Structure 1
Amino acid sequence: MINILKHRDENLVRLYKYFLPYKGKIAVASIFLIATALTSSATATLLGKLTDVSFYQGGSWLVFALPAALIAVTLVFAISTVLSAYIMSQVSQSVLVTLRKELFNSVLHWPESQYQKVSTGLISSKFVNESTLALSGAADSVTVMIRDTVQIIGLLCVLFWHDWILTLVTFVIGPALFIVLRLLSKKVKVVVKQSQETLGNMISRIQESYEAERIVKINDSYDFEDERFSKVNMRIRRLALKTNILQGLPTPLTQILTMVAVAFVVAVALIEAQGGALTFGQFVTFLSALLLIKAPVQHLAGLNSTFASISVAAKSIFDVIDAKPELDTGKKELKEIHQGIAFTDVHLRYPGQEADALKGISFTVKNGESIALVGQSGSGKTSIVNLLPRFLEVTGGKITIDGIDIRDYTLESLRSQMSLVSQDVFLFEDTIKNNITYGVKSSVTEEEINDAIDAADLRGLIQSLPKGIDTSVGEGGKLLSGGQRQRISIARAILKNAPIVILDEATSALDSKSENDIKNSLKKLTKGKISITVAHRLSTIEDCNRIYVISDGKIQEEGPHKLLLSLNGIYAKLCRMQKIK
């Protein structure tokens, strides 16, 4: 702990603060660690006494008592070691649960821009690798600091008691040891950070190749993917070897320096013993204590590289935990919608871009109205609907609901008024039922669930499965077709029954028959509600109150279907391409 304070490493100090709620358990573990440490001093002393008894008091009862005492000390060592390790493991795992919970909570509340910056591989590495490294290292270092510090103090007391001048001689190695370990610590930090980043890249590469397995196969890109993976894999190998070397150097270097001091002291002690200044038993005690003190010194010296690794891992974790969450400064609660939605001169510019993606978007949607956004890919349609639930933040203008800026509403109340069916359907690795009821499970009845299933045309699929609605959809819904996944997403939106419905290419993955089957269901879903539909299939939006044609981030045309056809503009051209009259 002195090492932490000396280097004023804020990440280490912050990490160890997570252990404070468990100070009671750590105190109990410390008692066992102290008992473990004191067995070294007891062993050295008993060995010396046993030697003197054997040489000078052959018939003494101590000949039997001292060996028995050695066995008892060994038992104390074994029991104390096991119990302290178990208690510290409990503490470290409890802290690990807390850290991972904070990590997960932070990631869930990231703004959209943060998700775009960080790969899933890097995030996975923080949960799996860095958090485990930080906590296991922190718990082990607490054990070493308590046990080995007490062990060294105990053995030094034995050494000073027998010959304080010789003991002081051993301290000459201190400055050299400090300089060597400080240099190694700096190098370890750099290499460990590179290793963690590379491991995150490897996880990303594996996930990417796994999810793109069909693209790899159809393009016969096995060799290319092997080569890309091999580069990352070999870099991890090189960094791991470098880390192992740097982390392994303190032990042999410490051993060399300590053994030089020990050899010198032993030589002097032998001279004293031969001259009668020390008994043979005292010499054995002194020698045993010197040899026993070597291991704890090495352990404490090794903490420099351990702290360096923990510090890098802790910083990586805290960078995620401290990342700014999405803005939620609103104080008002949106409980119902009376008037409608208004976009007023809305602009949007993505981070790092020089031009606006949306330029002066203005329109209104009254309660009960349905509108549609159409246009070529990349025109800005999805950006517009992503602004409404504040997945993205406007960079100019404002969006209001019932005349109040949506930034004045709390995020929870704002989003509770919206259902979303996106073209990018995501299903959790769970049952069909749990995916349909996601977010509303505790507030819906079986009858409502069945109604949603029928409205989304899922009844046939469910009846065809052996486990019915309790069938698992697989990771990301991979056991279902694109259309089936989309219908589950639609059923989820129907079940939420929110007053604002956002349909972002809701029927994009459906064939023509399925699209027609659920068309009426979507009409029922949006009846009496505000609905905003983003569509490429123009046949799904003919009945909307108004259609807005988006091009280059601007509204180029607006009006109902027939009016836009009569204008013979962009919308009419799109309709002709899809043979819609």
Structure 2
Amino acid sequence: MPDHHPSATQQSSLKVYMRLLRYVVPYSGAFAISLLGFLIFASTQPMLGYILKFFVDGLNNPEASFFAQVPYLSDQSWLADLKLLQAVPLLIILIALWQGLGSFLGNYFLAKVSLGLVQDLRVSLFNNLLTLPNRYFDSNNSGHLISRITYNVTMVTGAATDAIKVVVREGMTVIFLFATLLWMNWKLTLVMVAILPVIGVMVASASKKFRKQSKKIQAAMGDVTHVASETIHGYRVVRSFGGEPYEQARFLHASADNKAKQLRMVKTNAVYTPTLQLVIYCAMAVLMFLVLLLRGDASAGDLVAYISLAGLLPKPIRQLSEVSSTIQRGVAGAESIFEQLDEAPETDEGAEERERVSGRLDVRGLTFSYPGSDAPVLRDISFAVEPGQMVALVGRSGSGKSTLANLIPRFYHHEHGQILLDGLDLERYRLRNLRRHIALVGQNVTLFNDSIANNIAYGDLAGAPLAAIRQAAEDAYAAEFIEKMPQGYDTLVGENGVLLSGGQRQRLAIARALLKDAPVLILDEATSALDTESERHIQAALDKVMHGRTTLVIAHRLSTIEKADLILVMDRGEIVERGSHAELLALNGYYARLHSRQFDESVPAAGSEAD
């Protein structure tokens, strides 16, 4: 049974490689020109070797006519006069020019293909990232995803283009040299062929090793980028908790691991190449012995040319054998790239699109557990919100509030129960259309390293008139701090808005939601990052933003939700209480206890005795 394995691996290698070559198809014109260039280059190798024959013969008689042996050319008087003395140097220069032309065409047009390929693969990977479901990002770290776009892609193009360059250029060189050798002395040449199977076996065994090692190197490279990007993103935490030594050790370990794996690959290469050289030179030794033995009536020039041409063979053969490591590296990189490209995108089976919805939300019997986990995070949740109403979700951390908020824009796919928007199941809306009706303000505000105006008018909102952006900023109480900034709305906010305070970032997020003007608004802990002063501003901003919109608020601070039309109290994925603020206080249960903890002075002590 194990015997099948190598061929299966090779089979999949071939499949991956063929799939990779499909990316070369759009560049077939440039590719054909580069192949022609390499063909020209390869044809010059035997020419240069063969010139030696005339050179050695010319040593004995430099005045001999170059074309004397060619009957139909010897009639031309000026050609008949061309002596070896002039012909040999002239031909060397012509061959060099011809070779230069081939080399330029081959290398330049292949680089065109190669760089086009890098770009196409990078763009495919990046565009594909934008379609992948949330769970893919939950289970893959960003370092490996970035490394795939930067490092693995260059490995792959090496396999698709550099390898082809070597295969064509050196392969054709070997074929041309071989044909010339057969033509010059076929008996000797057939003896040489006997050594080829030995070389073949060596190449096959080494290529398996290269592929394994290359996969490990790519994973190690991903670890290096992962540690670096985590440290860069979390540098404040690293510094405030004295994590520098830990991060240094972690990075050193990842880097050393990468180095060790690279070294192992170099070692395989370093042992393999001289061994192959040795085999080839043993063949040469046998060849020289045979030349001396079987020289027959060949001239000295013939034999020198033959030995020289045979001596030109090892280099291209060695390069052809080394190409397998380039190809294996590329195949390993391509596997990880295609793995991502083959990931199923976010499911979007909806076909309905609505220009505008009123915002009526119905949740019926919703039960949800995260992919790969059996424990339900939400159990049998049901509630309804009329257009323009505000529903608040309260409860301890981990009670499932944010999960519920994530299901409404379909960030995750629910199996049991229904969520209806304007009487239509969420699953039936086209994804882009559904998300257009929902504005989300989370506790972790994401800002891009761009101007404030572009951060407010982001995505679908890009190109919104400045007046609308200013109005949104004003309504979100953000205009006051924006206008104090040196460049106003054109001020750059730094990576993820590091140059702004938590409250300022939050207000920009609210301005973004206001500009979107969506009928459904989800506020997930939107006021948790704020001081009381900012909160007062934002409370006013939220009152404005909620007006006439169906709003789902998740909040720790109960002060933000007292005005809610309906409060749902959640615990361990279930709704344990529901009602208005006054009704829930009167119940004197779970909500009253939460309330008394936050506003000890405003609730009679009776409320806290139930704790």
Measured against the shorter chain, the TM-score band is over 0.9
Which whole-Å deviations, capped at 9, do the CAs of 1:430-456 have from their partners, x for residues lacking one?
111111110234452221111011112
Deviation at 1:63, TM superposition (A): 1.1
SS in 2 for 1:498: coil
- Pick one of 237, 240, 250 that aligns with 1:215: 237
- Pick one of 296, 319, 324 that aligns with 2:316: 296
Please state if 1:145 is matched with 2:167.
Answer: yes
Q: Is the 8 A contact 1:545 1:560 kept in 2?
A: yes
**Residue equivalent to 2:22:** 17
**Residue equivalent to 1:391:** 411
Q: Is the 8 A contact 1:122 1:204 kept in 2?
A: yes
Q: Structure 1: which 5+ runs fail to align?
A: none
SS in 2 for 1:40: helix
More displaced stretch, 58-67 vs 401-410:
58-67
**Residue equivalent to 1:177:** 199
**Residue equivalent to 2:70:** none
Instruction: Measure the CA separation in 2 of the matches of 1:412 and 1:64.
Output: 76
Residue type at the aligned position of 1:221: G
Which whole-Å deviations, capped at 9, do the CAs of 1:242-276 have from their partners, x for residues lacking one?
11122344432322111111121122213444xx6
Please state if 1:260 is matched with 2:265.
Answer: no
Instruction: Measure the CA separation in 1 of the matches of 2:179 and 2:593.
Output: 94
Deviation at 1:7, TM superposition (A): 7.5
Which whole-Å deviations, capped at 9, do the CAs of 1:494-532 have from their partners, x for residues lacking one?
111011111111112121111111222212212111111
Instruction: Measure the CA separation in 2 of the matches of 1:8 and 1:224.
Output: 39
- Pick one of 42, 45, 48 that aligns with 1:43: 48
Instruction: Measure the CA separation in 1 of the matches of 2:546 and 2:43.
Output: 76
Residue type at the aligned position of 1:144: V
SS in 2 for 1:19: helix
Q: Indicate how the Cα distance of structure 1 residues 128 and 339 shifts in structure 2: closer, same or farther if over 3 A, else same.
A: closer
Give the alignment of 1:94-493 within 5 angstroms.
Answer: 94-273=116-295, 277-338=297-358, 340-442=360-462, 444-493=464-513
Q: Is the 8 A contact 1:499 1:530 kept in 2?
A: yes
Which whole-Å deviations, capped at 9, do the CAs of 1:189-232 have from their partners, x for residues lacking one?
11111111111111111112222223322332332222222221
Instruction: Measure the CA separation in 2 of the matches of 1:356 and 1:92.
Output: 49
Residue type at the aligned position of 1:293: L
Q: Indicate how the Cα distance of structure 1 residues 363 and 6 shifts in structure 2: closer, same or farther if over 3 A, else same.
A: closer
Q: Is the 8 A contact 1:357 1:553 kept in 2?
A: yes
Instruction: Measure the CA separation in 2 of the matches of 1:498 and 1:66.
Output: 82
Which whole-Å deviations, capped at 9, do the CAs of 1:134-191 have from their partners, x for residues lacking one?
0123210111121112111111121111110111111122221121111111111111
Identity %: 35
Instruction: Measure the CA separation in 1 of the matches of 2:289 and 2:347.
Output: 71
SS in 1 for 2:596: helix
Instruction: Measure the CA separation in 2 of the matches of 1:205 and 1:14.
Output: 32
Give the alignment of 1:520-531 within 5 angstroms.
Answer: 520-531=540-551
Q: Is the 8 A contact 1:250 1:298 kept in 2?
A: no
SS in 1 for 2:221: helix
Residue type at the aligned position of 1:553: G
Instruction: Measure the CA separation in 1 of the matches of 2:270 and 2:103.
Output: 24
Which whole-Å deviations, capped at 9, do the CAs of 1:270-289 have from their partners, x for residues lacking one?
3444xx62211111211111
Question: TM-score with structure 2 length normalisation?
Answer: 0.91
Please state if 1:28 is matched with 2:33.
Answer: yes
Instruction: Measure the CA separation in 2 of the matches of 1:221 and 1:5.
Output: 45
Residue type at the aligned position of 1:366: E
Residue type at the aligned position of 1:359: R
Instruction: Measure the CA separation in 2 of the matches of 1:59 and 1:149.
Output: 35
Instruction: Measure the CA separation in 2 of the matches of 1:357 and 1:537.
Output: 22
Residue type at the aligned position of 2:175: I
Which whole-Å deviations, capped at 9, do the CAs of 1:373-424 have from their partners, x for residues lacking one?
1111111100001000000121311111122211111101110101010011
Q: Is the 8 A contact 2:163 2:326 kept in 1?
A: yes
More displaced stretch, 173-182 vs 72-81:
72-81
Please state if 1:67 is matched with 2:85.
Answer: no
**Residue equivalent to 2:57:** 52
Q: Is the 8 A contact 1:370 1:532 kept in 2?
A: yes
Instruction: Measure the CA separation in 2 of the matches of 1:543 and 1:218.
Output: 39
Residue type at the aligned position of 1:44: G
Instruction: Measure the CA separation in 2 of the matches of 1:478 and 1:155.
Output: 64
Please state if 1:540 is matched with 2:545.
Answer: no
SS in 2 for 1:185: helix
Deviation at 1:103, TM superposition (A): 0.8
**Residue equivalent to 2:6:** none
Residue type at the aligned position of 2:522: I
Instruction: Measure the CA separation in 1 of the matches of 2:228 and 2:566.
Output: 46
Instruction: Measure the CA separation in 1 of the matches of 2:292 and 2:163.
Output: 36
Instruction: Measure the CA separation in 2 of the matches of 1:247 and 1:573.
Output: 70
Q: Indicate how the Cα distance of structure 1 residues 424 and 258 shifts in structure 2: closer, same or farther if over 3 A, else same.
A: same
Instruction: Measure the CA separation in 2 of the matches of 1:422 and 1:454.
Output: 20
Instruction: Measure the CA separation in 1 of the matches of 2:235 and 2:549.
Output: 42
Deviation at 1:356, TM superposition (A): 0.6
Alpha-carbon RMSD: 1.8
Instruction: Measure the CA separation in 2 of the matches of 1:339 and 1:8.
Output: 52
Q: Is the 8 A contact 1:38 1:151 kept in 2?
A: yes
More displaced stretch, 553-562 vs 73-82:
73-82
What is the number of equivalent residue pairs in this alignment?
576
Residue type at the aligned position of 1:388: I
Q: Indicate how the Cα distance of structure 1 residues 505 and 8 shifts in structure 2: closer, same or farther if over 3 A, else same.
A: closer
Residue type at the aligned position of 2:310: L
**Residue equivalent to 2:526:** 506
Instruction: Measure the CA separation in 1 of the matches of 2:271 and 2:482.
Output: 62
Residue type at the aligned position of 1:429: N
SS in 1 for 2:313: helix
SS in 1 for 2:194: helix
Instruction: Measure the CA separation in 2 of the matches of 1:268 and 1:176.
Output: 20
- Pick one of 584, 590, 594 that aligns with 1:564: 584
Q: Is the 8 A contact 2:370 2:377 kept in 1?
A: yes
Instruction: Measure the CA separation in 2 of the matches of 1:131 and 1:373.
Output: 45
More displaced stretch, 454-463 vs 59-68:
59-68
Q: Indicate how the Cα distance of structure 1 residues 315 and 8 shifts in structure 2: closer, same or farther if over 3 A, else same.
A: closer
Q: Is the 8 A contact 2:392 2:554 kept in 1?
A: yes
Q: Is the 8 A contact 2:56 2:301 kept in 1?
A: yes
